[in-house]
Amino acid sequence: MSGAPQVVAVVGPTATGKSDLGLALAEHLGGEVINADAMQLYRGMDIGTAKLALAERRGVPHHQLDVLDVAEDASVASYQRHARADLAAVLARGRRPVVVGGSGLYVRALLDRLTFPPADEAVRAALEGRAREHGPGLLHDELRAADPAAADRIERANTRRIVRALEVITLTGRPYSATLPEHVYEAPAVQLGLDCDRALLDGRIEQRVERMWERGLVAEVRALAGPGFDGLGRTAARAVGYAEGLAVLRGDMTEVEARAAVAAGTRRLARKQMGWFGRDPRVHWLDAQATDLVEQALDLVGRADRGMLPDPGGRRRTLGS
């Protein structure tokens, strides 16, 4: 029927099984996967991102994987252009796009009506210099005076986002909050969120970190970073797992300390992701532990296609903020 969702998105925190569910849905629906995990865009960042190997994809085409060199900085605006082109091509082939990822802004950039305001390196550099000299708190106070709504949404210690907000205000003369995304789909879509009990998810994260070390995460970081350990760009070098791997290689951290730091960083990431997706009222939440998870997901997609999708309601989100 007209208006039936064409795009399926599998979202939620890390280590809940999004890649596996997305793959299963693509197989059942005649679909192709479009990645929305910012770190899986990078070639060679495989172990630390839990990227599905080619053999594990079971012949299902995957897009927006391995499209950036690790020295490049990721750009949401660039991702939006390329991922939307992939999505349009999938639809043109008569296939179902299945978006999979936990990078909230990347998901929104692909699915929602979202435009990116201008940028100016000189303005940004001046703001960053002031933040280094006076601390982010002063800039946050300035942001609150100029745009209280944006200040309420940006943590006082988040220098990067404070600087970006002030940069946009300086360049446009408009509140930064006016540029923030709304919950309006660019194309019909249905979002399926994977929810998991906090203790169970923490256990999954510990197991994932153990597997990363067994598979050779530090060796992967060494190969990507190169002889001087300076081959990773800003985005890649800050990624959970890769920052700690670099610290080990530089002698700033033991492997035991690094493993603990990666687990802790991944737990923080999971809380942040659930906070982001938990604020989106359009997400239909499913128990990641359910034995009939694929069947539940397919049922929701089928009902959406028939125009019979229920309101997501206020379903409990165990990691929600």
Cβ contact 193:277 at 8 Å: yes
Q: Is 18 annotated as a binding residue?
A: yes
Cβ contact 188:307 at 8 Å: no
Q: Is 13 annotated as a binding residue?
A: yes
Report the Cα 186 to chain-centroid distance in Å: 18
N residues, the chain: 321
Q: Is 17 annotated as a binding residue?
A: yes
Report the Cα 228 to chain-centroid distance in Å: 29
Q: Is 272 annotated as a binding residue?
A: no
Q: Is 320 annotated as a binding residue?
A: no
Q: What is the DSSP string of 108-170?
A: HHHHB--------HHHHHHHHHHHHHH-HHHHHHHHHHH-HHHHHHS-TT-HHHHHHHHHHHH
Give the DSSP H or E segment for 246: helix 242-249
What's the token pair of residue 300? Answer: 């929701």
DSSP 47: T
Residues 6+ apart with CB under 8 A from 158: 136
Residue written as tokens 């205000």?
169
Residue 316 CA neighbour count, 13 Å, CB half: 5
In this structure, the dihedral spanned by the alpha carbons of residues 56, 62, 66 and 72, taken in order and rounded to 10 degrees, is: -140
Cβ contact 83:64 at 8 Å: yes
Q: Is 12 annotated as a binding residue?
A: yes
- The annotated binding site is made up of 12-19
- The annotated binding site for substrate is made up of 14-19
- The annotated binding site for ATP is made up of 12-19
